[in-house]
Amino acid sequence: MSPSHEAPRSRPLAGTGHLVRLILRRDRVRLPIWLMGLAGVTAASANAVIGLYDTPEERAGYRATVENSAVTRLMAGIPYDTDTLGGIISYELTALTGIVVSLMVIFLVVRHTRAEEESGSAELVRSAAIGRHAAIAATLSVALGAAVVAGLLESAVLIASGIGSGPALLFGAGVAGLGLVFTAVAAAAAQLTSSARAALGIAGAVLAVFLVLRGVGAIDETALTWLSPFGWQDAIRPFGESAEAWPLLLMLGLSIVFFALASWLVARRDFGAGLLRGRPGRTRAAAGLAGPTALALRQQRGLLLGWAVGLGLLSIVFGGVGREMQTMIESNPDIAAVIAGSVDDITRGYFAYVMTLLGVTTSAFAVSSALRLRHAEESGHAENVLATAVSRSRWAWSGIAVTAAGTTALLLVVSLVTSVSHAVVSGDRALLWPVVRAGLVTLPGALVLAGFAVLLHAWAPRWALLAWAPVAWAFVQAYLGELLDLPGVLAGLSPFWHLPRVPVEATDAAPVVLLSALAVVLAIAGVLGLRRRDLATT
């Protein structure tokens, strides 16, 4: 090798700046979607809280409800300072923003470290004048920068909403602190295994454990909350009279521990390998894998299982708090207008609202599953499948079929769990079947968004990630549409807006059939697009 290449290699961080620019270029769509989506939800939620709880009586009602709700504490932590407007905003947003920022940096770190090694792209990069640790240093730099930007955006949005700058900055610092922690967690997880999927699983498991510790500890306000960075985020209490910044030091300390672990593992493992050895596969495939549909199902079973567990837990909460939400809604006419609408039966209005939200959330799985066709194409897996006697249309329809079946199964799980949870907690079995129908009626909306993802990938593959934009808009419309009083032209951009609000309204078959037909048309157009263009090859 020439001396010009040898000198940079002797420096472990040589080329880090070039790799930072490369990562930013590759994620020029992903990162803005994460960041602006989070900022948008924060702005909408903050303005909603300001409009809903503008009197001391309404804030007192909110505090009484959340303080006495074990389920709410399990999901959102200890309700500090919820007798203030800022405290309510913080309580409503802390869990959401913390989880979103944590997932953002986990996906970013694993994608640009372990996934790059697994695909072979990192080997090509290392063949240039790049230092041994430049790749991970560049990835961590971008992830940390993204976490800081997320925190600053959160602060800016809250300040723009009329919240004091000091508390808003402290809230944003807590969000950035969680991003720092899970950047370090993901960096360590990426060194433990040779599989990107396993690394995501490890980091996700750590995230789940920390959430459980915070939630269980919050029920009786025990010391368990201090074993979780989410508990530390709560303890900052940015909008309270006793706001504290020192929990940020705990986040910094835990991050240093995980960064040190990641650094130690990087220096002691072979390139492409992990500390934990992967289990060798079978010599011959099982009989059940003798086809593209079975293969697609096998590849997505982890994704489906993860979504089923997550949505199942969320459904338990939504179903379990039905009675408590009725009390809160009755005490605040503004909340009643947003959640229950103009209906007299508040419980039915609540479940119409909740099941639409869960349907929109399930559509995120549908889009993620539909975009597995894109992943298979870019990773070379599609090329291997199409090298056999499998046609391009059959390969595409197999993936679409798994997406449709998985989405249907998820909505069935969500509907049943929500319904049963409400019946067990409240003793009211009259809504068992209506709540199930309310969930299943959202299926066409989710399939339309999945079909749009297939269409976008087929005809404009470079812009396939924009398939997430309709999901984000559907969430905003479902979550805050009544409060924002959106005109029909804008609200109608969400397919869920056209569906009947079961169990408040009767199940009108017309929009269900029309949206189902639209989903099929989008899928057909997508398959035709995949047939006409060249697929990416490795």
Mark whether 358 and 444 lie in a shared domain.
yes
In a domain, 282, yes or no: no
Given a contact cutoff of 8 angstroms between Cβ atoms, the answer to whether 446 and 366 are in contact is yes
Mark whether 238 and 89 lie in a shared domain.
yes
pLDDT for 314: 85
Residue-number span of the structural domain to which 94 is assigned: 1-275
Exposure string of 10-39, with b = 16+ CB inside 10 Å and e = fewer, is eeebbbbeebbebbeeebeebbebbbebbb
In a domain, 281, yes or no: no
In a domain, 511, yes or no: yes
pLDDT for 344: 58
pLDDT for 175: 95
Peptide bond into 292 cis (omega under 30): no
Mark whether 327 and 243 lie in a shared domain.
no
pLDDT for 2: 47
What number of other Cβ atoms are within 10 A of residue 142's Cβ? 24
Mark whether 176 and 114 lie in a shared domain.
yes
Residue 40's identity, in one-letter code, is G
As a whole number of angstroms, the distance between CA 79 and CA 73 comes to 7
**Which of 252, 275, 298 is where one domain is finished?**
275
Cβ within 8 Å of residue 538, ≥6 positions away: 379, 380, 383
Cα–Cα distances in angstroms (integers) from residue 84 to residues 41, 56, 79, 331, in the given order: 20, 8, 11, 17
In a domain, 399, yes or no: yes
Mark whether 495 and 522 lie in a shared domain.
yes
Mark whether 37 and 110 lie in a shared domain.
yes
**Which of 213, 243, 275 is where one domain is finished?**
275
pLDDT for 416: 95
Mark whether 243 and 360 lie in a shared domain.
no
pLDDT for 340: 58
pLDDT for 271: 60
22-76 pLDDT, tens digit per residue, is: 889 988 888 998 999 899 888 888 888 888 788 888 888 888 878 877 767 877 8
Mark whether 165 and 22 lie in a shared domain.
yes
Exposure string of 298-330, with b = 16+ CB inside 10 Å and e = fewer, is ebbeebbeebbeebbbbbbbbbbbbebbbebbe
Cβ within 8 Å of residue 76, ≥6 positions away: 66, 91, 92, 94, 95, 218
Mark whether 250 and 338 lie in a shared domain.
no
Given a contact cutoff of 8 angstroms between Cβ atoms, the answer to whether 87 and 354 are in contact is no
pLDDT for 426: 80
**Which of 242, 275, 308 is where one domain is finished?**
275
The pair of structure tokens assigned to 409 is 């199964």
Mark whether 79 and 178 lie in a shared domain.
yes
In a domain, 406, yes or no: yes
pLDDT for 484: 64
Mark whether 116 and 178 lie in a shared domain.
yes
How many domains does the chain divide into? 2
In a domain, 335, yes or no: yes
As a whole number of angstroms, the distance between CA 92 and CA 81 comes to 12
Residues of the chain with pLDDT under 70: 1-10, 71, 119-129, 131, 269-290, 326-344, 481-485, 536-538
As a whole number of angstroms, the distance between CA 318 and CA 129 comes to 54
In a domain, 280, yes or no: no
As a whole number of angstroms, the distance between CA 88 and CA 63 comes to 8
The pair of structure tokens assigned to 530 is 């995949």
Mark whether 232 and 299 lie in a shared domain.
no
Q: How many CA atoms lie within 13 A of 152 on its CB side?
A: 6
In a domain, 475, yes or no: yes
